[in-house]
Amino acid sequence: MLACKLDILIHPTSFSEPNLQKEEKKRGKLKFRFPWRINMLARPKPPPNKKYQPPPRRVYKEFGPLDPITEFFSDQIYRPPLRVLHTNKAMFKDVKGPEYVKRMNRLIDRTWDSIYNFYTKKLRDRRVKRLERKKAKIQAKKPKGKDLEKVQNIRSEWLVKIATAKKPPQPPKIPRKKKALEDLAPFIDNLALPKEYHILKPKELGIVSSKALLYEITPIVQKLALLPDRLKIRPEDLIDHWAIKRSALTAKCTPRIEKLAQPSFSAREARKHEEDKFDPWAISPNALKYKASARILELAKPLERE
């Protein structure tokens, strides 16, 4: 049918018999690079488990855009302090290069526009204006033309004067006179004499000095030698440590106190009392019953020496 239609389209005047048989083309075997993948895809899928139901999807709260006021304040508060920016710029400008310096300058300018630096910026602007006015006054007073040449000449002379090395200062001259030597002559003779050393002899113990024998006690020393009344011991203040109270003499002991008052002899104390009877050469009965093991008998043997 398709061949008939093509014949009519190409040769409209001629008419040929339609060929109603379809031309079957023989297909060759498909050659795939990865046949294992085709085999895997050809396998039937396992039926889904209808009992399993996936958990409901968690719904998170969706936040809308920030208010203009909140956005403004968050933009203002994120800017770092000026002190930190200036410190980082000074520390890393040589390492990171000029691009880093430009970026830091941009950040510093943006931080100055912050509302938190409003009053500081006002003070800075006033200071800058004051310095600019002062600089303008200095530039206005600068000499020009011939006056400038005179100032330059004076400055060059001053620089030459400063560049020249100064002479070392000399000591002041002392007026020498004969009279001064005559006045110093006796002192010079005394200084020339050898120095005398006075060596004290060691003191002899047990000998009373003559000054101590002739010493007379003054009334003040006599008064200080006496013991004051506040330090004297009175007889009523003395305590009799061996006196027994009357209540102790008439007291009656309970059976518990009598039991505790009796001396208790423990095994250790009993040994102390039996020291006189102790025989150091006696062998205990437990030692006689002891049987030595093979290891102890081996250790008891004398060492073999060459």
Residue written as token pair 């011939």: 146
9 assigned to some structural domain: no
| Banded pLDDT at 177 (limits 50, 70, 90) | low
Predicted local confidence at residue 2, as pLDDT: 47
Check pLDDT > 50 for residue 70: yes
Q: How far apart are CA 107 and CA 101, in angstroms?
A: 10
Rounded distance, CA 232 to CA 292, Å? 77
Residue 266 host element (H or E): none
Range of the domain at 128: 80-161
User: Is residue 120 assigned to a domain?
Assistant: yes
Q: How many domains, the chain?
A: 1
Given a cut of 90, whether residue 88 has pLDDT beyond it is yes
Report the chain's mean pLDDT, rounded to a whole number.
81
With respect to residue 141, please indicate whether it lies within any of the assigned structural domains: yes
Residue 34 above 60 pLDDT? yes
pTM as predicted: 0.29
Residue 93 placed within a domain: yes
What pLDDT is attached to residue 33?
Answer: 66
Q: pLDDT band at 156, cuts 50/70/90?
A: very high
Confirm whether 36 is domain-assigned. Answer: no
For every residue of 108-120, DSSP letters joined together read: HHHHHTSGGGHHH
Tell me whether residue 142 is in a domain. Answer: yes
Torsion of CA 128, 130, 132, 136, to 10 degrees: 180
Share of the chain above pLDDT 70, in %: 81
pLDDT at 111 over 80: yes
Would residue 6 count as lying in a domain? no
Q: Is residue 213 part of a domain?
A: no
